[in-house]
A and B are shown apart, each in its own frame.
Chain A
């Protein structure tokens, strides 16, 4: 695969520690396009090994507005269905530039390991030093050891290590959209974390035309009121969910966007520092980055202050437990103090309502029904590599436009019929 790809797939066997590398076949791309289309295909091919498949969308990492998405595909221990967790923030981008297009992780290791994916090299390393660490300590340890603060770390905490059904795999210090218990799956495989760093380059078949189209899109997006929102509260309101602005704004530091995503869907709250501070704070942990609307809405309704919500979700992120599940269960028990809530973590169990019912994470289904329209739009996001929340707001990014861009970028032709088929396979 010459364009918009590294042309490399790795099949990792954690039992034997063998790694097989292969090219990304153009016929596979013509047939399955990319992202969840290909990760699902690879899952099916290697299903005997109960694999976790990492991948990125066809357009991930390009100048297409919102092209930030990585994907983690596996059979959810909670639902039994082959499901997809969106890898946003900068993780999807880093995976795209890591030198690998897709990575299949089969089997289980006999003792704790981590994967270090860097510039086309995949190492399986001993994680003895990391097992038992919370996600913040583990992420810091990897970044310090490798001497690079920009390494993206998909990490489990103690919840995943104990194979809790509410365990989540996080992104660096933050909560991900894992509502499927992938954290438990990693723990069962003795896989503590996946560290990713890449300095790759993606060739473009028709660079000028492709970038011109992207420039037109961003101009349209900038002149559209709907795509001028910034921050998790504004996004929540725009999607028809509760407006969290008044509750969050007194402690809001800044809004942070996922890679190349025009609307910042994440908001950093300062719980232990003056949010008006512009200089770099001397406090080591001044606050928390909110990346998930649902737990915020639940915690707000339960009567927690924004500060306490920040402390609860930070504790969830460190322990590697799904904040949506914690919010739901704490609300049911009537707990409101962060300390009390944190004490429940080791014994907390599902089932919870917030578990993903579709194969796509409900993290992107705030304020809407999970119906056929929503699923289709999600499928397009996960195949082409667009941010699943952003794509719902970005009406200029039609299916036709995205398929045209895919063609301009790769010199291949992707038809609406192919897209329909790939979506059908993912939802089957």
Chain B
């Protein structure tokens, strides 16, 4: 079949157009096939079109596992809709599978009757064998419950790129754009944003730009011309709050939040870190913005990263370290030092599957204990958790606000799902962001030399920085006498200091928003969440409430201290359900703190909750009729 790259003649039979509220698409192929890029492009285009979007990239830890193997399959799922979306979608409506391995791993998530576009050319005997197929699934009837579209993508893509002068191998790299073109036709997307992107990206390599553009167009016109596809889908723009938007991943939003906080406080931003998945993109992003006085330090190890941050905080920078679970474990002793020296800093943990090296590219929420309790001695600090990718921006600023106001390290928890997942972000007006006021004393706070541990009403000490005459003082990890900061091992003083450090963290609760209840303020069942479960929990509660079930939700963005009304909120409901991607860490804290017999819903599979998993638990807890509104 020869396909022209020119606008195609109209087909005899026009496709039927079906309107949908939302569509979930997944691209799957080898980790070198450019699936992340294809997914990102469809996401951007849909966002620019006005849909709400939510994405879930899912890729292996290996950069290029052997081609065609199950281990090397990389996937990118996106959900775009005409309404507010909070997850990347439970069931896949359309799957693009570039080879047998990608099909094998992903087809189970495709809805019955869903669209399945496969690159037929990749279904060779060798690839089938690598994927563990005894017979070709395209022929053996095993895919009969799906709408199967066999497209010879390799061949058609090669033809589309034939006259660009690229080698066959180089042209082959354009096939993700060919597949993308098919989806653009299927979902009525404009090719313009991606064509613009291709020209920006490959401007210096005209042949590559031309080939990718041709591949995209050829894929689009394939959908247009052939009568293979009987339907297209229309998803109207969503009704989002007015304003200007861009798409952000959690890591991008967090990097911008940190830069914003430093800028608002007129401080240099010092980011000390050691590369680790899935946190490294924060470093990459920050290192692009040195003109904001961002100083990035790629340390020799996780311990150097945090201790350099401690030093930077002592010297007066807005100091931040970012890591993931294994790195967090290495940093704990130094975090204890930060607690003892009462210095302001932010410690980001982009959680991933553990323990040990665990599942580096997969998401999990099993570091809550590590954040709250992970050090020797009584070592309280402030723990925050972002709820959505865009919320990483807000919480990055909030973390710094608390750190400086209370002179304490603040742990900010994100996770792999938030870090790599994307959503539209309503761009704020910088002029309307609250200023962060940081004060460094220039005068001594006593007639008899500077007292480093003299505290204000909130129990915060002063942030006196080296370079200031007359305020010379020593800090360190040894227990110290309150007020003077002199080394002190006295029994009563130690007890007093332990309590003071705890009370200081508790005082943060005076400055945070109360826990908000989504839905009725009291009732049968409250679903309590933290971190990235916000999306599936809120969506599940919405769906259940639409069906008349008496269920509400609340989301903790402050883990330590918790909002002051948390206990009251919990006690207003007969049952409390806590879904977590761990074995019940928030559950344990809630039970211990509020003596509420909360129920856990626990999933530790390296992937986020599906909406329906939470819905099912809600239904189970409310019973068939119990809890339904009269």
The answer to whether A binds B is no
User: Which B residues contact A (CB, under 8 angstroms)?
Assistant: none
User: Which A residues contact B (CB, under 8 angstroms)?
Assistant: none
